Each structure stands twice: as structure tokens, then as C-alpha cells.
Amino acid sequence: MAREFIMPRRIITGAGALEAAAPELGRMGKKALIVTGKVMVKIGNCAKVEEALKSQGIDCSVYSEIIGEPTDVMIENGLKQYKAEGCDFLVAIGGGSPIDSIKAIGALVENGGSISDFYGKTIDVKMPPMAAIPTTAGTGSEATQFTIITDTKRDIKMLLKGGVLMPDLAVCDLQFTMTAPPKITASTGLDALCHAMEAYTSRKAQPISDTFALSAVKRIFKFLPRAFHNGDDAEAREEMAIAALEAGVAFNNASVTLIHGMSRPIGALFHVAHGLSNAMLIKECLGFALEGAYDRFADLGRAIGAASAEDSDQAAAEKFLSAASALVEELETPTLEGYGIDRAEFYSRIEKMAHDAIESGSPANTVRPITQADVEQMYKNLWDSFS
């Protein structure tokens, strides 16, 4: 069966990547809207991007109102500034939130309306040029055709898709990931692991996405603990940036499965950061998914050295689950209770969360058949197993 494989038009990685990308940025337009958060402005990362643009004679306007994960309101305000300032291309500097935001803003530049109008549809509109500069090694949004935006009226995280959402330029510069603190390093790194694991075990997996997914899983198990325990480990930081990019490429073409489907409702209703809610779900969701894809999870177990060729597929898969669970624990991932979520409130939302998870479509990519009742039970297990 023929399959399409999509990647950014150009990717520049490694130390000095921003400087190397400056000429490319200079060809993207006359005035950029830099989309970022206040922290990126405060620590000087945004200024570095401004300087790179100025070196090419490009004007810019900074929209630094991406506070937490992006909402439809943030997108509307960003669009207003883009138009008011006469911008003609978009640059994101930050984690997945600013990168997701430029995609959503870009989708409305010509089309107008609200980003919520695209929910349940494939986005196929004229887009301005977009450059993505990640400062965390996790979301992989710089290499995907997806964006996640919260609809504040319906309390849901919308997973929006369209080939036009792929950034034209991805710049993965070591200097920016060095600034991520341990908790962010952990949650974003585990997010990348989820992307890679789910892409490899998805019903939509394909040979090329498998190559990227396997490579990402191996890098993450080797280098994420190092980056977490020692943020100044330049090699670990660079390898994790590559791993996040690989994982993004993988799930962009093979999609995600159960973890992401169940993660979005937790984030929308309890305001848990996306990477962290993914991490909270790894043990429970993989425990369910193994049975349908022992061979695929066995490949992952052998790839990271947790299992050997002598192990049966089931044994190798279970060893991978143990290794993934141990990594989640090593990176000090909190439980729902430890995060401060009220048990009674969580239980009162389970039916809605399970419905929204199934409706997102991601759980259907899991090889093992799954029902809403299964998802409801896993949400209960997620609390009770760790309390």
C-alpha cells in the first residue's frame, strides 16, 4: 500500500544552528511575528532570534502571550497582532506551545474565523511561511503536521491536522535546550518517548517511520536520564534534541495511540502539562497495549538492551514495559494525587474524559481493540494503582 511521508522542507540541527539558519529566515518574508512566552523573553532566547532576523535586514514584532498550553483566545490575540503589525511570516521560539500556536495563527491568516472551526476537519488553507525553533527536547512539533489547541468554551484539547501545518524550517540549536530545568527536561523527554513508542506500535506504522521511532527510543533511554540529572551535559542535550525531532517525524507519519488519546482530556480538565500527563499514563497504557502487539514492543525492548534475542516476544515486551516504568520513576514523575488533583473530582470527570479520548481518534490506532469502557477503567486504574 502506498504511503505518504512528510517532513519539514529544511531542518538545521546542532550547535550554531540559529546562526546557520539566519539566511534562510531572511528569505521567508519582510516582517516576522515571533511567537513565544514571557520566560523566553526574560532569559534572552527571544532576543537571539530577533538578532538573527535583524542580521538579515528583517523586521519583527514579538507576541509573548503564550502562557501555558495554547488556547483559542491566545490564537485570536496573536492573529490580531500579526495583522496589526503587517507581518508576513511566523517564527516560534519555545516549547511545543509557541510552535503549535504559529500553526494555528497561520491557519487563520487567510481563512479568518476561529481555530475551533477546524475541529474534526483536515486543515487545507493557504499558510504564511513558518519557522520553528524548539527550546525543549520533547514535543517534536517542529516536525509535525499537528497542533493542539484548547477550546475554552468546550473544555477540550483539539487535535488539529493538515499537511499545510508543517513548518517550512526547523532549527534545533543546542544552546536553547540547555536552558530547560530538570522537571521540563523530564516531562518533555517522556513526551518524546511516548511519540516514538506509539508511532512504532501504531496501526499506521510504516517502515520509514519505524526507522525514526526506533532511533528515538534508543537515544531517549540512553540520554534522557543524563540530561535530567545534569542539565549541563551538552552531549545529552544535543542527542535529546535529535531524539525529539526523530520522534516528531515518526508520529507525524504513523500517528499516536492510547497514551495521547487519554492524555489530552487530563490536560484540558485538570490543567496538567501535556508531556507530564503523558508520563503519568505510560505504565497503565502500555500495560493495556502490550497484549495486542507483543512483537512490536519486543523490538523496543531488545533495541534498548532490556531484552535479548533469547527472550520470547511477550517476555521482551514486558521487559520493555518494566524499563519504561523505571524511567518514569527515575525522572520523578508525580502521581495524580501528588500533582494535587482531587480524587472525587477526577472520578466525576472520567466518563467525559473517556468519551473525549475515544472521539479524538488516537486510541483507535492502538493495535489491541479498545472501547470507552476500557478507557474508563484505565483512568480508574491510573488513580488507584498509584495512590
Tens-digit pLDDT profile for residues 218-272: 999 999 999 999 999 999 999 999 999 999 999 999 999 999 999 999 998 998 9
For the chain, domain boundaries: 10-177, 182-384
Determine the pLDDT at residue 180.
Answer: 85
At residue 356 the predicted structure's pLDDT band, cuts being 50, 70 and 90, is very high
Q: Exposure pattern of 172-182 as b/e (b: 16+ CB <10 Å)?
A: bbbbbbbbbee
How many C-beta neighbours within 10 Å does residue 310 have?
7
Determine the pLDDT at residue 139.
Answer: 84
**CATH topology identical between 10-177 and 182-384:** no
Sign of the torsion formed by the C-alpha atoms of 64, 97, 73 and 108: positive
- 182-384 has CATH 1.10.3720.10 classification: no
Among residues of the chain, what percentage have pLDDT more than 70? 99
Is it the case that residue 365 has pLDDT exceeding 70? yes
Identify the DSSP state of 333: P
Q: Decide: 144 and 195 in contact? Cβ < 8 Å.
A: no
Determine the pLDDT at residue 387.
Answer: 45
Q: Exposure pattern of 131-164 as b/e (b: 16+ CB <10 Å)?
A: bbbbbbbbbbbbbbbbbbbbbeeeebbbbbbbeb
Determine the pLDDT at residue 252.
Answer: 93
Q: What is the pTM of this model?
A: 0.89
What is the rounded average pLDDT of the residues 125-135? Answer: 96
Determine the pLDDT at residue 385.
Answer: 58
Among residues of the chain, what percentage have pLDDT more than 90? 86
Tens-digit pLDDT profile for residues 52-94: 999 999 999 999 999 888 999 999 999 999 999 999 999 999 9
Which fold would CATH assign to domain 10-177? Answer: Rossmann fold (3.40.50)
Cα distances from 276 to residues 43, 53, 254, 272, 339, in angstroms, run 23, 33, 22, 7, 10
**For 28-32, 154-158, 237-241, 321-325, which range has the lowest pLDDT when averaged over its residues?**
154-158
Determine the pLDDT at residue 75.
Answer: 97
Residue 66 grid cell:
503564550
Residue-level length of the chain: 387
Sign of the torsion formed by the C-alpha atoms of 98, 102, 105 and 108: negative
Among 53, 121, 126, residue whose Cα is nearest residue 93:
53
Q: What are all long-range contacts of 109-113, with beta carbons under 8 Å and residues at least 24 apart?
A: 109/79, 109/82, 109/83
Q: Decide: 61 and 89 in contact? Cβ < 8 Å.
A: no
- What is the pLDDT of the chain when averaged over all its residues? 94
Which stretches of the chain are DSSP H helices?
17-26, 38-42, 45-54, 72-84, 96-109, 174-177, 182-201, 207-229, 234-254, 258-270, 274-289, 294-303, 313-330, 336-339, 343-348, 350-360, 372-384
Residue written as grid cell 497561520: 106
